[in-house]
Amino acid sequence: MCGIVGYVGRAEAPRALLQGLRRLEYRGYDSAGIATLNGAGIAVRKSVGRIADLERLVAEKPIHGHTGICHTRWATHGAVTQENAHPHFDQSGRLAIVHNGVIENYLDLRAALEEEGHVFRSQTDTEVLAHLVGREFDRQPAHTKGALVEALRTALGQVIGTYGIAMIHQDVPGVLIGARRGSPLVLGIGKGENLLASDAAAMVSHTRDVVYLKDYELAALDADGFQITTLQGDGAGYEISQVEYTEKDVSKGDYPHYMLKEIFEQSGTVRDAMRGRLVLDEATAKLGGLEMSNAELRDVERVVITGCGTALHAGMVGEYMIETLAHIPVECEFASELRYRNLPLPKDTLVFAISQSGETADTLAALRESQRKGHRTLGICNNVGSTIARESDGGVYMHAGPEIGVAATKSFTSQLVVQALIALLLGRLTHLSHSEGLNIIRELDKLPDKVAKALELNDEIARIARKYAQAKVMLFMGRQFNYPIALEGALKVKETSYIAASAHPSAELKHGVIALIDEATPSVFIAPRDAVFEKNLSNIEEVKARKGPVIAIGTEGDDHLGHVADDVILVPEAPDFLTPILTVLPLQLLAYHIAVELGRDVDKPRNLAKSVTVE
């Protein structure tokens, strides 16, 4: 939520900053701003709207300099206006700051500063932070880099809340300062240039060597080096890691949208999620990152899976997978609820936190709450080095590569594959036989080709999408493994098309939802050839009897659905527990094409941000 980039080096900062900011647009896009040290002072440009609007402004009224910061905003405090766009300045106008996070006690701090004569130009919590740091800096005996770090340290000591910060001061040219608590901040270590950003994706055109700043750490960067210290003022150890992906991975390539590109990457990402993790000899999965012995895994009495949005839907499929293959009771719970719920859980409960970004505030809080209660926590994350990945006791990376479209697609199928591997591992340690394990491995191995085959339905799905794009309401129905897929299909349509879509277990229709059925309300049934196929079929008949149009997602070779549904999309067959990895693909494409048909901003739907780092 909110994207930050900072640059210090020998190149023109605005170019590097705006290029980086474009890569972070998925984090928020209400307004954007940029500030550079230009020798005479601080040059600033801000605009309401997309980053393209800021780029236009900078092209019309160029700014220069070799040190600068920029920001793309997802509003929390204060309306979407130019005044509230970052960067914000201190009282002297010589310090500029960009911030991601929430300063909870900003009203008290603001009132105290106003008493001292400070004048504020915006309604944001960030401007209060800028004034606070500026005041501390002006109290320092000398205006050096060390003094600026010290001023930030003192100011942060007065702040309650979360922050990822980048800051410049005209009295300390060629220096960029950052700090983090609860909002990600990454240092990019280049040659003759160094960067700061809320996501490494913003920096890959410059460097793939990064340092993930930890909570309560401050960084001071110049063109040739950097120092990291703690909020207490001690030196901090750090590790330079290599970002796995390249610039090509974060560009759209020939696709019109990131969402479509990422949908089409899934044959590869499904393969990558299991690469090196299937052990044929032992007919099991090897997941070293769990950091648990077989004996410890065998002792697991209960599993809790948590996450938000799409990640939660993946967890709901995981619940069915683990219960089916490993016979361990599983509870899947919204992270936003789990964090405040005092679940009575046995001691040997394993808590999985699923998160593509690894930064979602509610998921992180649920993870921390589980740790407080003494449960072992495992992260299923995509972003390497993210907070959830670092704070959990172990975990499994998805290896899906950067996901930039705001609507999650490829991360979802990777989350399903990872959970299938976990279910296989747990199952093989309890009651699954060697041959059952081997069968599962063979089926997993076939998935990437089946995914590719399902995606060949794209043109047909685009045709169906055009037919139903004008619907005001859409219903999604499924059962068992595919009920969470109905939820996911409805979420994809809601967020990309703004159509009111709701999802229900098919059998729940009769208990109320059926009142919505009419000729203008399409129902999407996820009805593969599984153990509940016939039941789904009867539910489809109930809708047809009331003249509701039906789109059915079924299994290749099926000849029943064609008789009852108006439009049928058939995906390759798979064992019941793996069908969600295939049935979700047409739903992603359906949502995509409806959104395109309606002229929506597919990659950046209104009001959304990809990484929700506030509660």
Q: Say how far apart CA 194 and CA 23 lie, in whole Å.
A: 17
Write the burial class of residue 344 (CB in 10 Å: 0-12 exposed, 13-18 middle, 19+ buried).
exposed
C-beta closer to ligand F6R: residue 428 or 492: 492
Q: What backbone phi and psi angles, to 5 degrees, belong to 552?
A: -115, 135
Determine, following the binding rule CB under 6 A, whether residue 356 of this chain makes contact with ligand F6R.
Answer: yes
- Interface positions, 393-422, toward ligand F6R (CB under 6 A): 407-408
C-beta closer to ligand F6R: residue 309 or 427: 309
Q: What's the one-letter identity of residue 364? A: L
Chain Cα centroid distance, residue 175: 31
Tell me which residue of 256, 213, 259 sits closest to 236, measured CA to CA: 213
Q: Say how far apart CA 272 and CA 267 lie, in whole Å.
A: 9
Q: How many CB atoms lie within 10 A of CB 59?
A: 10
Strand 163-169 relative to strand 278-279: parallel, antiparallel, unpaired?
A: unpaired
Determine, following the binding rule CB under 6 A, whether residue 602 of this chain makes contact with ligand F6R.
Answer: no
Q: % helix / strand / coil in the chain, to the nearest 5? A: 40, 25, 35
Count CA atoms within 13 Å of residue 582 on its CB side: 32
Determine, following the binding rule CB under 6 A, whether residue 611 of this chain makes contact with ligand F6R.
Answer: yes
Determine, following the binding rule CB under 6 A, whether residue 391 of this chain makes contact with ligand F6R.
Answer: no
- Could you say which of 2, 308, 332, 381 is catalytic? 2
Q: Say how far apart CA 577 and CA 570 lie, in whole Å.
A: 17
Does the annotation count 2 as an active-site position? yes
Q: Say how far apart CA 298 and CA 190 lie, in whole Å.
A: 46
Q: Which of 122, 183, 207, 355 binds ligand F6R (CB under 6 A)?
A: 355
CB 160 within 8 A of CB 105: yes
C-beta closer to ligand F6R: residue 360 or 579: 360
- Interface positions, 471-530, toward ligand F6R (CB under 6 A): 491, 495
Sequence-distant (≥ 6) Cβ neighbours of residue 589 within 8 angstroms:
263, 455, 457, 458, 461, 462, 465
Does the annotation count 373 as an active-site position? no
Q: What backbone phi and psi angles, to 5 degrees, belong to 152?
A: -65, -45
By beta-carbon distance, which residue lies closest to ligand F6R?
Answer: 309
Q: Which of 67, 198, 357, 523 binds ligand F6R (CB under 6 A)?
A: 357
- Could you say which of 46, 410, 492, 610 is catalytic? 610
Task: Select from 30-38, 138-146, 353-361, 509-517 the region that touches ligand F6R (CB under 6 A).
Answer: 353-361
Q: Which of 31, 47, 336, 363 binds ligand F6R (CB under 6 A)?
A: 363
- Interface positions, 154-183, toward ligand F6R (CB under 6 A): none
C-beta closer to ligand F6R: residue 356 or 506: 356
- Interface positions, 14-43, toward ligand F6R (CB under 6 A): none
C-beta closer to ligand F6R: residue 2 or 408: 408
C-beta closer to ligand F6R: residue 129 or 407: 407
> Please, what is the minimum distance in Å from the beta carbon of residue 407 to ligand F6R?
4
Q: Say how far apart CA 370 and CA 135 lie, in whole Å.
A: 40
> Please, what is the minimum distance in Å from the beta carbon of residue 360 to ligand F6R?
3
Per-residue x/- mask for ligand F6R, residues 293 to 332, rule CB under 6 A? Answer: --------------xxxxx---------------------
Residue the block writes with tokens 């939820």: 487
C-beta closer to ligand F6R: residue 113 or 314: 314
Tell me which residue of 316, 263, 262 sits closest to 482, measured CA to CA: 316
Please tell me the count of residues contacting ligand F6R according to CB under 6 A: 16
Residues at the site binding ligand F6R, with contacts judged by CB under 6 A? 307-311, 355-357, 360, 363, 407-408, 491, 495, 611-612
Catalytic amino acids?
2, 610
